[in-house]
Chains A and B, each alone.
Chain A
Amino acid sequence: MIFLIILAPVVGALACPGLARHSGRGFGWLVATIPASAFFYLLYSLLQLDAEGSAQLARVDWLPALGLSLSFRLDGLSIAFGILITGIGALICLYTEAYFRGDPRCGRFMAFLLLFMGAMLGVVFADNILLLFVFWELTSLASYLLIGFEHQKESARNASLQALLTTGAGGLALLAGLILLGNAAGSFELSAIITTAGLADSPHYVAIVLLIVAGAATKSAQFPFHFWLPNAMAAPTPASAYLHSSTMVKAGIYLLARLSPALGDTALWFWLLVGLGTATMLVGGWLAIQQSELKPMLAYSTICALGTLVLCLGLGTPLAIKAFKVFLFVHAFYKAALFMVAGTVIHALHETQVERLRGLASALPFTAFAALCASLSMAGLPPMLGFVGKESVYEAMLYAPVATQALVLAAVLGNVSNVYVAVVMGLIPFWRRDKEAPAPSRHTIPLGLWLGPIILGFLGLLSGLYPHVLGEHILAPGGTKVLGSDLTFKLALWHGINVALLLSIATLVLGLTLILLRHFWHRITRPLHCLNAIGPESLYHRTVSAMLWFSRSQTRLIQHGYLRYYLLLVVVCLIAAVAGALQLEVRQDAFESVPVRAYELLIVALIALAALALTRVQSRFGALACLGVVGYGMALLYVYYGAPDLAKTQIIVESLTVVFFALLAAAMPDFKALTPKAVRRRDGFIAALAGLLLGVLVYSTLASDQTQPVATFYRQNSLELAHGRNIVNVILVDFRALDTLGEITVLAVAAFGARALLRQRTKRKGTS
């Protein structure tokens, strides 16, 4: 079943472009059935999980020799993420169809989305950490395709490359970390790693934690790697709502949560995650307030939320894990909804500046209602789930083991930013009346565009009213997995008057004050924008340009374009390698053991003469004829040594060489002797040396290799095992068929390369 859940979106992705053309408006509903059915299955299996939240495992051996298997696990934590991915995914499918209605690219976009969905489900369900890594990279790839979807825009291309490079670099760190982790734990299966005790005492523990956290931090846009996420807003809004707010950026969070029973509970883990989370929360919150456009504002507030999640994971107390799980869902509900709302507004009005939007509630009534629900949840007002989430975060901070005041302050500041974004983005554009503003033209908003945000907003409200249902059935099994011990989830809307409630009120007051003073605030903080010049993004740009400069300069050095020097380099390297290998191998008797016959000498003399003549002739076709003599002489030798296959091939290759050369020679400039004598002498010396050494090599192999175990094996087994008498062919197509497959692939690639080169030259000639 679990294989089906992961495979179905991928298969669906293949069918998407065709389906989109033929199914019309039902396309979104049709595609949404894939994630929707997975969603209901996962929900069902979550409710089936027993109290301990034990896991269902499924595995198929992939490369047993390397310890790689396609193993998946369904447990509380992975199902919780899976529910988010499939549930929001289904709504996004509907949204996408409505968003792209009438656009021929709809099918392609949907295919990328489904591809991502499959990969992301793979990340959360994979039990083998190397398998997890493969899916992890696939999500980066899908994200690359989606961010760069409008590939005719340079900004979109740059943003997608930036996201890919950043998450890809983190992915490399992660791979190293996972391999170290697997070696330290003695298994690459998560189920075994989590139960391994004493990983913290491993000599590589520090490296493991640093590398894995680096991977997770790039993926989940933690400071200082956060810069790619706002740029990723170049993606069409359905992708932003899905990947860059509710699912893909949570992959790093998932990994940290998953590994915290194994790696957590140390000072390093605690301070690293708490520091990372707090910094990200504050930076994201600060930058969110500074934005004036819809999507960047949401992107920075997502960064802020991701920081909160990492902070909770770092604290690791039962209260913090509870807050983590609640906030994970809270955020997924309201952020995906707000992104979809933003997308609808942009889609309908082609306006991205928040301050220019007003009075939209009458034009977009359903969207406005969804925005209202989502914003109230984001601002953390009762009776929304956001209130419960915020209260649990505050509670976790209040009972943090160290630095309580600082953490509480940071959490309040982060939430002030949330209140600001919620009101400025979700309420003001819809409900503020302004006579001067032009009334937006009345658009008919398709069902798909408002259904998703309304459902999510409504879920935020419903689960806020009945938080214990969500807590006991959905959150508790996963929380146990993160903590490694039992966790009771007693969620309630009303906690009574306590410190957390007072903090909530303070947050709200601060946030509203900030909103009233926002123009003044933006004026006084404008000078701080110059800080961007020294921010991590400028470091990224500098690193990339330094890398480009380095590769350009070394390419100029090595790829100079002179064929003769390339050949020279190859031959010299060959000489060095052969000479090194032969150094002590050649024995005196090697030259006596092989009898030489008269006709062989004759052929050899012929070849040698032709080779000598080659260096003397003054025309291209003369040289070609001499080369031909050399080649056919070789073929003759093959015939005498009982290698008819080689001889045949050699003869045909020789003939083809003549054809190729004749074709090319016509296009070349006149034959001239340009090289000075000294250079020719040097080349001659090198050529002679190479020939001599290769001769010695052949002779010494003939003499020394008496046993010939490989050849004997082939000779004895060719007919029996492979039903063929021609050993050469049997080796090529049976015993070493994989090599041949590789060779013909290389051949094919080379042919396409040659063809591209040939065509390019012709074109350039045509334009000039």
Chain B
Amino acid sequence: MNKTTMIAGTFMAVMAVFPFLANSVWLSIGITFLVFAVVAFSQDVILGRAGIFNMGHAIFFGMGAYTTAILNVHFAMEIIYTIPFAIIIPMIISVLLAGPIIHLRGDYLLVATIGFNIIFEQVLSNDVFGLTGGPNGIFGIDVVRIFGYELFSDTSIYYIAFGLLVITLLIIRNLDNSKYGRALYYINKDEIAAKSMGINISYYKLFAFAIGAAIAGAAGSVFAIQYSAVSPESFNFMQSVMFFAIVLVGGSSSLPGIIIGTFVMFVLPELFTEFKESRYLIFGAAMVLTMILRPNGVWPATFGNIPKFLKKKAVSNVSEQGETK
């Protein structure tokens, strides 16, 4: 347990000082890593915790990005004020979309979410209501202004993304220690047992969607800020597959697992840019090998998230027994 805390602490410390160590190329990779890690964590609430086979997570990420882009470019809203909309709109739409399919069994739900993702991409590419800008997307998104400061440097955007990651981790920690968070685990592990304990399965699954979509929406907003542009191909089916794979490769509902998954899927390919497109072989190979060798992910989740006074009792009881023997 202490080892994990140490690794986590070191990781967060390195991430906090990363902009001072990296050149501009690496800084921009760093921002993408943070944003995608947040999206992966939000997918992990839906897929890892609630066990819902959501293969359309790029929808909520994209919805957040487009909300910021549309409100800023078409309605001249300050970026900072678009963020609440980029959180709430995906959240509401996730519940509306998932509502009619939430009772479906895993594989059927997966196909339905793929369908949603394809529709979403079509809506973006076809410039619906003249808002989404068609296949080229929307560009010319403003810089972030807070209290008269313009945050245009990559370093400041990095810290926005880092802040979002920290908030996301805090939310997930709080979620895991609450009635709602535990309900998601119970549903994932055994639906019939969960139902028989009085847990309303559909309600909690929709809750998982709402939380997941809200966090993904916030990440989308930062993504739009980073590139000052959005386009449909960043939010297509293939992106959803990536977010799905990160969770399974890294380890469902495992915080270090998700970080490792994001690293393997998004940062490693950047290390091998001289191999051009063939570097994506890493994706494929990583997915196949992990599923064969470590079906629960590179760093599987551990349970036993219980208060200290209960743990202490368990330890003292065990040692007492050992003495009497």
Does B bind A? Answer: no
Interface residues in chain A, defined as those with a beta carbon under 8 Å from any beta carbon in chain B? none
